[in-house]
Amino acid sequence: MTTELTSVQKHVDPARVLEIEQALLRIPSSAFEEHAIADHLAERMTDIGLDVMMMEVQHPFNSASKSRQPVGILRGTGGGSSLMLNGHMDPGVEMPGWSVDPYGAKFEDGWVWGMGAHDDKGGLTAAFCGLEAVIKSGTRLKGDVLLCPVVAHKLGGAGTRALLKSGISADLCINMEHSNNTIANVCVGILMVRIRVEAPELFFRYSAEAKAQYWNPIEQLCEVIRRIGPSLDPIPEGSWMSFTSHPELPGFPTHTFDTFHKEHYYQRNLSGLHSKQAELLLQFRTVPGQTMQSVAADLTRLLEGIKREHPAFNYSFELPAKGTENGWCQEPMACSSDHALVTTLAEGQMRASGAPAVIGGWGRLGNVGDGNIIAAFGIPTVQYGPGDIRIYKEWPTADERVLLSDLVAAAQAVAHATVKLSG
């Protein structure tokens, strides 16, 4: 099908989109090293007419480290819904092995290459150019529009958490995360769990009584792993975990085993654990309806089941694992498919691409974004942006790239949705 671009969408200039994207890609911006890109964006946002303030953000784990993020506001005349356009300035994953300069912003055959090309400098570019198109069109909006490039997504959304904690909010939000220009109104959540087991030290000569109280800590955790199942395999409905499958999130909930620590008194201690102990860190990707409390209850049942069969099983667990409470502990996200946020963005995407918009979990399947954090504050949110990780053999990877045409379409969709939602 073909559709006509709206008058505001026509103000998205592909050459301008490319220029903004390349400028952002040429500025290194690791987590809590976003100062230069924050200043660059603040200047750009001021130039197009936004009221800009700079917010200092404290590192969540290092009190000596700070970064900053600009907040730009296009003031409305009053009486309309406010809209936040949120994206992160730090690249999602910084991988070695590039075949091109990761900060060279190469443009060839329609592709823009660079660290963060779609995760998430492409999303920020689309949000900026979409809002700039609204301004260039002369459209006066009733509601405020907030452009919020944030720091430290890969530290559990530290920038977005600081933003919300400061009192900055909106009625609606588009979280500009890569989704292959599909509209992710449903996303998984994440919970990280630390399980620790323990057994008395036992040498090769032992009493029958001592052996009866002994189960090697590594073997204890191996049994936990066996009962939970292989990493990335879907957890079957009706098995050890209680949940209702979501049609937009096939294959979830699931999990990965992330770290395993065990010390021995003969060897140098690297983890700080006693040699009697072993520790497993794993993460669950959850579906709507699951909560921290429900997962804790499920895990307790599973571990107690092991203890009934193996009395020497000696465990404790933390959920969320200490250190992840204000980071990688995020609720699943869901926004009704008939919500105006979804339908207007879908209409904008359809006009920009000439094809029906795809709505659902597919484009962000398995991912969490700062949109999860924003939605947990009661703000209807979708995750939407250019770029698709399925073009790579594995993710994360080097040689990140995005189609300019997808960047332009995303900017046009954002421009349309902004006028419809805040106008």
Q: Are 240 and 295 in contact (CB under 8 A)?
A: no
Q: Tell me if the pTM is above 0.85.
A: yes
pLDDT band at 2 (very low <50, low <70, confident <90, very high): low
Two tokens at 146? 């907030």
Mean pLDDT of the chain: 95
Strand, coil or helix: 393: coil
The candidate with the shortest Cα–Cα distance to 88, out of 119, 61, 112, is 119
Identity of the residue numbered 354:
G
In this predicted model, what pLDDT tens digit does every residue of 306-354 receive, in sequence order? 999 999 999 999 999 999 988 889 999 999 999 999 999 999 999 999 9
In this predicted model, what pLDDT tens digit does every residue of 251-291 receive, in sequence order? 999 999 999 999 998 889 888 999 999 999 999 999 999 99
15-19, 207-211, 264-268, 282-286 — which is least confidently predicted? 207-211
299-315 in b/e burial notation, b at 16+ Cβ within 10 A? beeebeebeeeeebbbb
Number of Cα atoms under 13 Å in the Cβ half of residue 171: 15
pLDDT band at 236 (very low <50, low <70, confident <90, very high): very high
In this predicted model, what pLDDT tens digit does every residue of 113-162 receive, in sequence order? 999 999 999 999 999 999 999 999 999 999 999 999 999 999 999 999 99
Strand, coil or helix: 67: strand
Tell me how crowded residue 239 is: count the other CB atoms within 10 A of its CB.
Answer: 14
Q: Are 173 and 78 in contact (CB under 8 A)?
A: no
For residue 146, give the H/E element and its range: strand 145-150
Q: Are 151 and 89 in contact (CB under 8 A)?
A: yes
Two tokens at 113? 């290459």
| Strands 401-403 and 111-113, sheet pairing | antiparallel
Distance between CA atoms of residues 420 and 3, nearest Å: 17
Partnered with residue 108 across adjacent β-strands are 111
Identity of the residue numbered 319:
L
Hey, CA dihedral for 384, 137, 71, 168, is it positive or negative? negative
Residue 1 has pLDDT above 70, yes or no: no
